[in-house]
Amino acid sequence: MLRWIRDGGQTSEFEGVALVHLDLLYRAALRLTHNRAEAEDLVQETWLRALRHFDQFDPGSNCRAWLLTILRNAFLNRLRREGREILESDMAATEAGAARLEEASVARSSPEEDFFQTVLHGDVDRALKTLPLPFRLVVTLADLEGLTYKEVAQVLDCPIGTVMSRLSRARQLLRKELATLAREHGYSKESR
């Protein structure tokens, strides 16, 4: 690491290439952890790992996918270290806190916007949190962060076909969960 820090050219190159993806890393970390403090710690850990190993980054490759791979690995390592898995009870306990944080961070300008941000956005987040981790990861990366299937496959270290099947299954599960939430809120009278 000392060799790397002394080389000011690599530091500025790292900042130029990687810094633009900081918001993306934070959003992905927040969706994985459901906790702002943990997300910030995860991004910091990702940033440090990326900085230490920037000499291994291939300048012609996709920096966004490289950083998200580091983030995913850091997240999974944390889960292993803590000896925990994401269980339904963990998700339920964090839902209330995550919803309050979202509401506090969103500035609203009209009653309609307030409705869409609190009710509909909250329902989508709740539905997303019900997905098992592999499905939630693929939806977050592909649908929410806009990565291509190839980039998602690179981040998750799996074949593109696996990404496509997980995404298809995740979308089916999301549709089912959102339909249930819509019925609960009285938006839909269907009884599927």
Q: Output the pLDDT for position 179.
A: 87
The pLDDT mean for the chain works out to 76
CATH of residue 53's domain is 1.10.1740.10
**Cβ proximity of 36 and 82 under 8 Å:** no
Q: Which of 64, 84, 104 is the last residue of a domain?
A: 84
Domain count for the chain: 2
Q: Cα–Cα distance between 63 and 52 in angstroms, integer?
A: 15
- The percentage of the chain sitting over the pLDDT mark of 70, rounded to a whole number, equals 72
pLDDT tens string 22-78: 999 999 898 888 889 999 999 999 999 998 988 888 887 888 899 999 999 999 998
- The percentage of the chain sitting over the pLDDT mark of 90, rounded to a whole number, equals 32
Domain that holds residue 34: 1-84
- Residue 89 located in a structural domain: no
Looking at residues 125-143, what average pLDDT do you find? Answer: 88
Nearest to 55 by CA among 100, 17, 109: 17
Of the given ranges (61-75, 107-121, 122-136), which has the lowest mean pLDDT? 107-121
CATH of residue 172's domain is 1.10.10.10
Q: State the CB neighbour count (10 A cutoff) for residue 37.
A: 8
**Cβ proximity of 106 and 117 under 8 Å:** yes
Looking at residues 85-105, what average pLDDT do you find? Answer: 39
Q: pLDDT-based confidence at 91, cuts 50/70/90? A: very low
C-alpha triplet 97, 180, 33: angle, nearest 5°: 30
Looking at residues 109-121, what average pLDDT do you find? Answer: 48
